[in-house]
Amino acid sequence: MSANQPSSQLQAFPAHAPRALYIHIPFCTNKCFYCDFNSYVLKGQPVMDYLRAMELEMKHTAEQCPPAEIDTIFVGGGTPTVLKPDQMAYFLDSVRNAFPSWSEQIEFSMEANPGTTDIEKLRVMHAGGVNRISFGVQSFNNNLLHEIGRIHNTDDVYRSIENAKAAGFDNMSIDLMFGLPNQTVEMLEHSVEKALELDLPHLSIYSLKVEENTLFHAMYHRNELPLPSEEDELEMYMIIMERMKAAGYIQYEISNFAKPGYESRHNTTYWRNEDYYGIGAGAHGYAKRERHLNIKGVTPYVEACRSGLPRLDTFRIDEAEAMEDFMMVGLRLLEGVSSDRFAEQFGGALLDKVFAAPLKRLLKQGLIEVTPTGYRLTEQGLLFGNDVFGSFVGLLSNGE
Ligand code: SF4
């Protein structure tokens, strides 16, 4: 904790208020070809108006649902690091003002694009309390980066990481992607090797999903997207898991690997189905069994914040759906789901009883196994995670 963070030890906090905060900055230098996130090309955007609107949303949110001590903050996007240093300083001040009580061990992450980080900006981030950076690297092959619409190259990656170290960051993560068009197993192996050479404490490695409303989706339907075969994609995933393990990383979630003690605590909030604030255009939040989705467009969001909370939709999650969510997101964690935590979230309900039928079937298929505290994916289950998670969709909420 930096010396200027407020101490909170003697304060009383509201019971059950979220301890995690997600904030969305929806601007990017350009739009990557596979991206369906709520992000807009930066040029001509009213960035300061947006930051002021988020300040209002944070203020209204803290009034409506007074915060507890905040344990984790994650600033995602978009590309938060497109903010200029003075905009970044303004933004980080507004976060601290609206959510002033931070735990001693706060994990404050910010996503960064290697093409948009310089030492001055990184110093502002560090001074503003950010203590973890997640770089969107995706690949160590420049041709491939170009073909997926990224603006950075591998030199930018090395420079950004050096700059981040010089600015005082030691907790960094990078994202890689596999299953990309024209990516071979050898190319993936090379990227993993290069990533491991950096010796960072955390890596996230995702497979490409061709999402609607992306350039790749249109190309896919025109038969112009040369994706690797399913066998190659499976081989890539197995290589990733093997190399990470050999290098001393713990696979703690389907796509996430960490040196011991460096697991992302913020994302673990989602996987444990716990509450979090969601601030910014298109952000969603979850508190007291209510989920909200914010207005997505920048200008409508800015206007809505002037008169209240910028909600596009707010809906109650009934107990049946929350139980299904608990299983679907919880089984993504390699530690699995805990029967005690289930009982705690659902008034003493017994996980074994509520999900008796799918658990029995998945155990028989060898896709999950029993642990001392509940259930988790087997090695086989890891490869077919979507089948496992799909077993819980609508199971209780549709009355099946
Ligand atoms: S940098 Fe990230 S958020 Fe922005 S367009 Fe690319 S993938 Fe989407």
Reported as a single tens digit per residue, the pLDDT across 303-315 is 999 999 999 999 9
User: Which residues contact ligand 1 via a Cβ below 6 A?
Assistant: 28, 31-32, 35, 37, 39, 77-79, 113, 136
- For residues 257 and 264, give the distance between their C-alpha atoms in angstroms, rounded to a whole number: 9
Average pLDDT over residues 98-105: 95
**What pLDDT was estimated at residue 313?**
97
Average pLDDT over residues 102-111: 97
- What band does 14 get if pLDDT is binned at 50, 70 and 90? low
SS3 content of the chain, % helix, strand, coil (to 5): 40, 20, 40
Average pLDDT over residues 3-26: 65
Average pLDDT over residues 184-208: 98
Cis peptide before 390 (omega within 30 of 0): no
15 pLDDT higher than 80? no
Protein residue closest via CA to atom 8 of ligand 1: 35
Protein residue closest via CA to atom 6 of ligand 1: 32
Q: What is the number of the ligand 1 atom nearest to the C-alpha of 35? A: 8
Percentage of residues in the chain having pLDDT higher than 70: 96
Q: Measured in angstroms, how far is the CA atom of residue 114 from the centroid of ligand 1?
A: 12
- For residues 243 and 261, give the distance between their C-alpha atoms in angstroms, rounded to a whole number: 19
Q: Tell me: the pLDDT tens digits for 372-385? A: 999 999 999 999 99
Q: Are 204 and 138 in contact (CB under 8 A)?
A: no
366 pLDDT higher than 70? yes
**What pLDDT was estimated at residue 393?**
87
Q: Measured in angstroms, how far is the CA atom of residue 389 from the centroid of ligand 1?
A: 26
Task: Give the bridge partners for 258, in sequence order.
Answer: 202, 250
Percentage of residues in the chain having pLDDT higher than 90: 92
**What pLDDT was estimated at residue 391?**
93
